[in-house]
Structure 1
Amino acid sequence: MTETLLSRALRRVFAGGGAVGLALLAAPPELLAQEVAPKPVARVEITGSNIRRAQAETASSVLTVNRADIERSGKTTVAELLQTLAVDNQGSVPVNFGSGFAAGASGISLRGLGTASTLVLLNGRRMAPYGLADDGQKVFADLNVIPSDAVERVEILKDGASAIYGSDAIAGVVNIILRRDFQGTTARAMVGTAEAGDGQHHNVALTWGKGDLDTDGYNALLTFEYKKTDEIFNRERGSRDHIGKADLRPWGFSAQEALGGTGAITGNNASGNAINGNVRNPATLNYYNRGNPAGVGFTRQFPNAACSNFTNHPQGDPGGGCLVDAAFLYSQIQPQSEYVSLFGRGTTMVRPGLEAYAELNVYSNLTQSSATPSSISASVGFPGGP
């Protein structure tokens, strides 16, 4: 076959195009060598817990309070911080609550379901319960055990988590994460008093930390805290008008409405209801008391003449008798308390991705609480009664 001039020209063009194509295919290896070296990946620490981290599951499933939020709040205790949040509701135990058999402790109540239904975790682990139960029945964790200076952040799961943690997490979970990277020394001291000049509060805290896990391979944290609060009685607040008083007649209530509450020793006529401090015969329905030993009808427990020997409460009951405002005399607005807390934690890096740690938490709580004296009510026919 004779090659024409046109075919020879086309063959040369296609051959040149193939060479160009091969050259283009060989170019990527040279470009790969010019890529920038990868940047180091930042270290991410996750504290183990069963709290779900996917924020997309609900609008706001987990509320996080970080260290900056804690410092801006001005709160000196973990209990004060949590009990000022909107998630805390009815049923929480404030530190000045002395009528629930758990004086001196503080507990959080999510969704108003009580402290026994709110689980409190420390670094993802359950805390030991307080030695006294709220109302004598509900076991809860005392937030005063945790030194506020050692807290890094607080994670609050506002949804029920009883399927994961058990029945004590029906209302939600509070996970308190302690600091693991603190270095240096900080000291804090505070003195406060009430407007009336009593109920003084003293708080001293010292925090020390050393070592960096990334560079030194270890970290040590030690926190000491001491708090002391003086008591305040209702009788020291006479200027607060009706607060802490059982006799409410000066504010428009009748004598019986005022005397039927806690702290009043009084009575009614024979057709009235049983009054604490009296013994009633179930057969004759007569009352027996100090002023009526024969049980005929009903008389007052104490004659007016003896009131000055029994109480200093202002008298004036139209039916006679002796008025005693026990709530005003014995109840407290703030109990006397003294706390000492020592927390220590040591962490060492065994190898990348593996750490070993040890924690020590020593806590002492001495609280003196006063409430109204208990009265006794019984009937003659009651087994074991008079």
Structure 2
Amino acid sequence: MVNKEDGWGTTPEIYTPYEYKNITFVGDKECQLFAANKILSAREWLPLMGITLPFTLIPSEFIALIKEGISVEEVVELINERIEDSIVQEILREERYSLRDERKRPWSVRTRRPFRGVVDKTITTFDEKLELAERVVMELGLPWKTSNRGRPPVYDWVKLAAAILVKGMRSFVQLVTDLRSTKYCMTIDGSESYPCPSELHHVFQKIPGEWMEKALQRLDELSVEEFSKFGANLNIFVIDGSALTAETLMEREVAMKARLIREYFQYKALIRTATNTIRGIKEHSNKIADFIPLLPLYSILLADPEFDVEENYRDAKEGHIDLQVKQKKGEVRKSRRKTARDSFDKKKYGMRKLGERPFGNIEVRRSKCYYKTPESKL
């Protein structure tokens, strides 16, 4: 690493230098450049020439030595063949996937990742998540008012709030287990004591929704600072709707008979594709106005046909947002929808499927209600 003034030339905290086994930072403020620490074979350097590789997988600019003793003309010819094949495969892939329903299309293209297992294998630990959560709580302040009355507190309020922020889809029992396994000291006197699940649930109920929304935004910003790599475009967002089923049941009439079904809550989320983080959650609707204040200027916002509404194009233009919506089929009459159809970019919209990953994680990892009776089956 060179020229570390003002923090330049250092890797993000989570990517410590020993984890970069095959690349080294050799750039300066004017030019971000990496160098490969090994001589690459054709199997290793040719995939790096692909025009569709995102910067989250490889640096945008780097230098490397190759093993083959071939001329520059032969290298250029190999690269041209690689790019031509990449374009042909992309066209064939789009034609093949266009025959499927959008919900059944793959999230991304499966390719062999350059430097696989070296650069892109860093896993965010539970300790690192707690560290980020503590920073958020310290910046925003405690979500409740403290008082000197009553018994002195046993646990640090900041660490209790941080534990709630990293809960995710864990149950409160699992959260306590993870806190114990990481030996996360939460007491004021430093003793090895941990809150019970019911106490954490009580803390969770005390936190107002407005504070949680601000914390969610700040966690997204810190994730960008800590985990983004190699100059990827960070301001690409996806807005999408989904629903969560509850553990409580409600009665509904189906086929003239009363049935028990799970209650559900519909919501929409704003996801940053570069870090796979959720920036905001609101009650479900087909409008984007309540997410506009959360978006940086000139961001790209990708949405499915559900959000093909004249009002959304107006709000996006006023907020200086590039809204890309795959419009519904049929004739377009209103002017803003016509303009949006003409400016629709398939390549930009192709990243929309990445925004469905958080929804898939929520559905797979969440606790489910397995209570079933013959009367509850639909």
TM-score by length of 2: 0.20
Task: Decide which structure has greater helix share.
Answer: 2
Decide which structure has greater strand share.
1
Larger Rg over CA atoms:
1
Normalising by structure 1, we get a TM-score of: 0.20
